[in-house]
Amino acid sequence: MNQMVESQEKSNSLEDFFCLTNILDTTLRYWKIWVFAAFFGLAFSFIVTKYFTPPVFMAKTTIYAGITNKASIQDGSEKEISISQYSQSIMMNSLLVNDYKMLLVSDRVQDKVREKMAEKFPSPEGKAPWFSVDAQYHRNTRIITILAYAHTAFQAQCAANITGEIFSQTVQDVLRLDNVKIIDPAKLPFQRHRPLLRLNLVLGFLSGLFLGWLAAFFLAFLDQTIKNPDQVESYLHQPQMGTIPWLVDQEKNNALYKCLEEHSNYDFVEALRLIRANLPYIVPLREASANAHSCRVFLITSTLSGEGKSGCTSSIAVLTAKTGKKVLLLDADLRKSTVERIFDLSPKVGLAQILAGETTLEQSILKGIVEPTFDVLPCGPIPPNPAELLVSESFGTILKKLREEYDYIFIDSPPALFLADPLSIAHYADAILFIVACHMAKIGLIRKTIRQISRVSSIPLSIIVNRFNRNDISCKYRYSRYGSYGGYGGYKYAYRASSKDSSTHSN
């Protein structure tokens, strides 16, 4: 069953990859590659044509090859015979075309031409200069055009005339045709026959463009990652909750948190506000009595480490607390805690110690972090058995108590692809926020992670696209119209420096 699902997903991936929209995306995203390849092909063809390809000149001479009618013409009957013989000579000439071809390239003709050319153009090696000959045969005529090619115009002219003379004599000797004459001797050519610079430049440009385009698609095929929000629904077939723009300093763990404090008009903050506004609609409040306290619990995870999961979780939690709601950020990443670095915390106890029975819940919660209604339950010192602690009944008991005190609980869990920790606690949450960073995890791995989660939990799962660079040229043509609203400070998804550090430029 799993193999059938995976094969179907691969088939859908190929269809999505070769759709018109994705082709346009790939063409625009890798425009530097095919533009560079096109101009490289242009420069390469120019250099090769100009400096490494010897010029070739063509000269031609025209020959008449016929059969002489020696019958005397005295009366009308003899004239009719003469006309008949004339028609027969034309038909015979058409039959001799193959003979002319073989005779022209025969060693008898070519050797004599080489000897004449060697005498005409002597060299230290005693060899004749390079030349090549060909012939054109005109249908229903007795006219033959001999084409001669050489590296200089004079050599081409001489090769054509010498070949015409020797060919005429050979035809008379071998085929017994005594009416072979040179009609037009070869003239000196003033323009080279090849290479044609303009034609080669066009071919080089188009060849480079095509090869660069193929290279771009090859790289795009290798880069099977999410690149823009539109691909979430088309590739993953999951609802998208929001898109968090890419920041220059987003690689730093505390960069997102500082944006909330220092830049209230940040486009980044506006994107988080949109996600915050969607939270109540993902998990409607449960039916409860008037005295009961309703709480929404969100589990945040991702496919791989480094997708900005903890930073997004902290930012959404802090921004939710700014509305006056009581919010708890629960750090359930017992393997590699990032929340403590984000808020610069150094707790001696945390969730790991509570689950191990070494401390109490009240002693571990850090209250009033950043906002009066924002609390943090840190991970604490990393335990040696994180998976066993999370599957214990103590975690469910702790979460049940916390539901009575908070409006929102955000659980920051480890990546779910290779670790069982998020799967162990998924059923305690009301919804899962799945972080997908652009250009990070491959689509196949993301699908596998979502399937793993869906097997153990049926709660809603929504995807948040992180680190989306709207300035990417492949996305500009679709997202640029949303880029500027003057009355709201300009929605440009890039880092804008504050007045304190105005020397720092945005991307």
In a domain, residue 48? The reply is yes
pLDDT for position 480: 47
368 in the same domain as 331: yes
Q: Are residues 179 and 246 in the same domain?
A: no
The verdict on residue 506 lying in a domain is: no
Residues 63 and 35 occupy one common structural domain: no
Same domain, 39 and 132: no
Write down which residue in 162, 184, 206 finishes a domain.
184
DSSP annotation of 293 = P
Task: Classify residue 501: in a domain, yes or no.
Answer: no
Residue ranges making up the domain that contains 95: 57-184
Both 335 and 455 in one domain: the answer is yes
Dist CA 376 CA 363 (whole Å): 12
Distance CA(81)–CA(71), nearest Å, equals 9
Q: Is 179 inside any structural domain?
A: yes
399 and 255 housed in the same domain: yes
pLDDT score for 485: 40
Ordered per-residue pLDDT tens for the chain, 507 residues: 455 545 555 555 555 556 677 778 788 888 899 999 999 999 999 999 989 999 999 999 998 876 654 444 444 444 444 556 656 666 666 667 777 778 888 889 999 999 999 988 988 887 889 999 988 887 777 788 999 999 999 999 999 999 999 988 888 888 777 777 889 999 999 888 888 999 999 999 999 999 999 998 888 888 888 988 888 888 888 889 999 988 755 544 444 556 666 555 467 888 889 999 999 888 775 543 333 458 899 999 999 999 989 999 999 999 999 999 999 999 999 988 889 888 888 888 999 999 999 999 999 999 998 889 999 999 999 888 888 899 888 999 999 999 999 999 999 999 999 998 999 999 999 999 999 999 899 999 999 999 999 999 889 999 999 999 877 655 554 554 444 443 333 333 333 333 333 333 333
Residue 357 is assigned to a structural domain of this protein: yes
pTM for the complete prediction? 0.66
Q: Are residues 215 and 268 in the same domain?
A: no
In a domain, 503, yes or no: no
Do 100 and 171 sit in the same domain of this protein? yes
Identify the CA nearest to 292 among candidates 398, 403, 380, 394: 403
* The token pair that represents 402 in the structure block: 């916390």
Same domain for 69 and 27, yes or no, is no
pLDDT at 400: 92
**pLDDT at residue 113, as a whole number:** 92
C-alpha separations of 335 from 328, 409, 413 in Å? 20, 20, 9
Position 255 scores a pLDDT of: 47
Buried b (16+ CB within 10 A) or exposed e, 474-505: bbeebbeeeeeeeeeeebebbbbeeeeeeeee
Same domain membership, residue 300 and residue 250: yes
Residue 498 has a pLDDT of 36
Same domain, 430 and 484: yes
Q: What H or E segment, with its residue span, contains residue 10?
A: helix 2-17
Q: 83: domain CATH number?
A: 3.30.70.1130
d(CA 276, CA 270): 10
The number of distinct structural domains making up the chain is 3
CATH number of the domain where residue 424 is located: 3.40.50.300
Say what the pLDDT of residue 162 is. 93
**Does 409 reside within a domain?**
yes
Indicate whether 254 and 398 sit together in one domain: yes
Residue 189 lies in a domain: no
